[in-house]
Amino acid sequence: MTSGSPEQIWRYLDGEMSADEESQFQEWLRASSDNAREFAQITLLHDRLRTEHLLDAVVSSAAHESAATAVVVRRRSRPLAFLGSLAAAGAVLLLLWLGIGRTTVSAASELDRLLRAQSQGPDKTYEITVERVAAPSPRHTERDQEHRPPKPSIDGALLHIRQGNQFVLVRQLPNGQQFLTGCNGQVSWAIRPEGPVRVSQDLSRFNRDVPGHEQGMPLFDVEHDLEQLRTAYDVQLLPVENGDDAASEQEPTRLIVAVKKRGYRGPQRVEIAYAVRSGRIHQWRFVDMPYGPERLTLRLTLTDEAHLGPAFFDHATHHAPDRTIAEE
Amino acid sequence: MCLLRFAASYRKPLVAERIAVRDGGAPAWGVEWTCDMDEQIRQATRHWTLAQPVVSAFILSLVRDFSARDDVLQETAVAVIESFDRYQPDRPFVAWALGIAQNQVRLYVRRQHRERLVFDDALVAQLAQVFETLPSEPRTALGYLRECLGHLENKARELCELRYGRDLRPAEIADTVGMSANAVAKALQRIRDQLRACIERKSVVEGSSL
């Protein structure tokens, strides 16, 4: 194998070369313009492969995207359509620059504002909708079959949250019964339809039932999640046009789109739709979020904001008084 | 050529305000010139749209990391538009934009305290020239890529999604799919060779000179 075969070009682009190999590779590029041209052509393909896959991600969340992006979605497979997608990409950049200004700066200040807004106000109830489940990797499947029972479906679950990491997650089992998990800030607990109520002083004991815990972005800790976006994500602020949910009819809404940076853990992409004036978040969307052996794309839609009472996050509120309590 | 300068108070002008300016009114949204903004933007958009794939690939060839490419590309687009009044139309736009991209890559590396680039300045300049003079046919033929991706088998598609959709390196992919890093690298190699062959075949059969 020569230092400049296509295989070596791919290894350079994948960041798989040692320092010595990189040095040889540089010499090979310098040696002839044909070599440099071969490198440029392969890099064009590499770059285009990334663009195609990003476009796929855009298509999957097209409902949340701008009209300019929608132009990209409708592209055809003929090469002529390539020019269309380029035009759209250019237009998106220009629109970002002209319409939103320096998005990084404004998105960062918006995150601050959302953070302040979330630290106030009553308890919140979100409905969880699973849009997509990616198949688990074979390695995960084997491991989970050995050690863990399957989790009840998170689709359609209700998540009640309060400041101080207090939450109640209500999941429906196939037989119509409920499986509740929660934390009141002093103990965490789990209530299956049958058997003892499990209670633990370890506040994180039962939070594995809430998506996001695997990678430090638990859904019940909204403030922590927003902080995480600031450090581990590239954040852009987009306008939301023609919002069709009840919340956006009442006041204008905007969309924050955060794409995970390399080297950080967490869902690949997070979208937050919120009311412009109040900073009230009415929808979160997490793309490619780990949940047990699976990777989910899920939405949290705000369904209620009300004070749920002083004892709502205590386990005793959610089961009969004669249930056995098992402390762990 | 018009100047395109924005005051600190710039905000996106309302359509009604833009019409008023076009009809002779004073701009009220923090723009310091009064010439036709639409024409300026149209020209810049037209040039940038055609140049962007080459500029993007050039940046990627230097920084290699996709999110770094996105950051630098966005900064380059902004710099290109901001300094568009200094662009001389008798010079190829791609060459001018690649010059800006080189500066943005350097700034990015300095700002992010990243490791130095693999290539030295002389090679970067040489590569910029090569990218600028690439014939258009191979770029046009890349339009067949989507169709070729559609022919991949499920496993190959999954590996591509992990590499290009999720921006994972072969070693990270190996962890996810339960293969060795070397096997992933080899598999990606084959897939990309397969895609190149498919694109070439299609451009010969269907004619890429669109």
Domain ranges of chain B: 56-134, 138-206
> Parallel, antiparallel, or unpaired: how do β-strands A124-134 and A158-162 relate?
antiparallel
pLDDT averaged over chain A?
A: 76
Among the ranges given (A41-50, A286-295, B23-32, B159-168), the one the predictor scored with the smallest mean pLDDT = B23-32
Return the higher-pLDDT residue of B137 and B196.
B196
Contact list in B for residue A48 (CB cut-off 8 A) is 53, 57, 142, 145
pLDDT tens for residues A94-119? Answer: 544 444 334 444 677 778 888 878 77
Task: Give the nearest chain B residue to A19 (CA atoms).
Answer: B118
DSSP reduced 3-state for A33: helix
Confidence at residue B10, expressed as pLDDT on a 0 to 100 scale:
36
Considering only CB atoms, which chain A residues are within 8 Å of B131? 40
Query: Which residues of B are less than 8 Å from A16 in CB distance?
Result: 169-170, 185
Q: How confident is the model at residue A47 (pLDDT cuts 50, 70, 90)?
A: very high
Cα distance between residue A285 and residue A267, in whole Å: 10
Q: Does A178 or A265 have the greater pLDDT score?
A: A178
Chain A nearest-CA residue for B14: A99
Quick check: B13 pLDDT over 50? no
Q: What number is the average pLDDT over the span B145-156?
A: 90
What the block records as the tokens of A306 is 């009300």
Say what angle helices B121-132 and B93-111 make with each other, to 10 degrees: 150
B141 to chain A, closest Cα gap in Å: 6
Q: How would CATH label the architecture of B138-206?
A: Orthogonal Bundle (1.10)
Does B157 contact A at CB distance below 8 Å?
Answer: no
Contacts of B81 in chain A (CB under 8 A): 94, 97
Which of 20-39 (B) contact A at CB < 8 A? none
**A255 three-class SS:** strand
Q: Which residue of A has its CA nearest to B119?
A: A26
pLDDT digits (tens, 9 = 90+) for B59-99: 999 999 888 898 889 889 888 888 888 888 888 999 999 99
Task: Name residue A55's amino acid.
Answer: L
The residue ranges of DSSP E strands in chain B, in sequence order, are none
Minimum CA–CA partner of A91 in chain B: B45
Instruction: Check A89 against B64: CB less than 8 A apart.
Output: no
Chain A residues close to B30, C-beta within 8 Å? none
Q: What is the DSSP code string of B3-30?
A: ---B-TT--PPPHHHHHHHHTTPPP-SS
Query: Is the confidence at residue A160, as pLDDT, over 80?
Result: yes
- Nearest C-alpha neighbor of B163 from the set B145, B194, B193, B184: B184
Burial, B118: exposed, middle or buried (Cβ in 10 Å; 0-12, 13-18, 19+)? buried
pLDDT at A141: 52
**Res A106: pLDDT:** 63
Q: Give the model's confidence band at B30: pLDDT under 50 very low, under 70 low, under 90 confident, else very high.
A: very low
* Residue entry with tokens 């922590």: A224
Cβ–Cβ below 8 Å for B52 and A89: yes
The Cα of A55 is separated from the nearest Cα of chain B by a number of Å equal to 9
Q: How far apart are the first and last CA of chain A?
A: 60
- The mean pLDDT of B33-58, rounded to a whole number, is 77
pLDDT computed for residue A58 by the predictor: 60
Q: Is B85 exposed, middle or buried (0-12, 13-18, 19+ CB in 10 A)?
A: middle
Residue B58 pLDDT exceeds 90:
yes
pLDDT of residue A65: 43
**What values do phi and psi take at B114, rounded to 5?**
-80, 165
Poorest-pLDDT segment among A176-180, A247-251, B127-131: A247-251
Chain A CA closest to residue B166: A268
**Span A151-162, average pLDDT:** 87
Residue given tokens 């055809």 in the structure block: A76
The answer to whether the CB atoms of A97 and B185 lie below 8 A apart is no
Q: What is the mean pLDDT of residues A256-263?
A: 80
Nearest CA distance, A7 vs chain B (angstrom) = 7
Residues of chain A neighbouring B123 (CB-CB closer than 8 A): 26, 29-30
Say if the Cβ atoms of A49 and B143 lie within 8 Å: no
Residue of A nearest to B77 (CA): A93
CA distance A278 to A275: 6
A with B: how many residue pairs have Cβ under 8 Å apart? 184
CA distance B149 to chain A (A): 9
Q: Between residues A266 and A100, which one has the greater pLDDT?
A: A266
* Bridge pairing between strands A166-172 and A281-291: unpaired
CB A215 within 8 A of CB A229: no
Phi, psi at B185, each rounded to 5°:
-60, -45
pTM value is 0.52
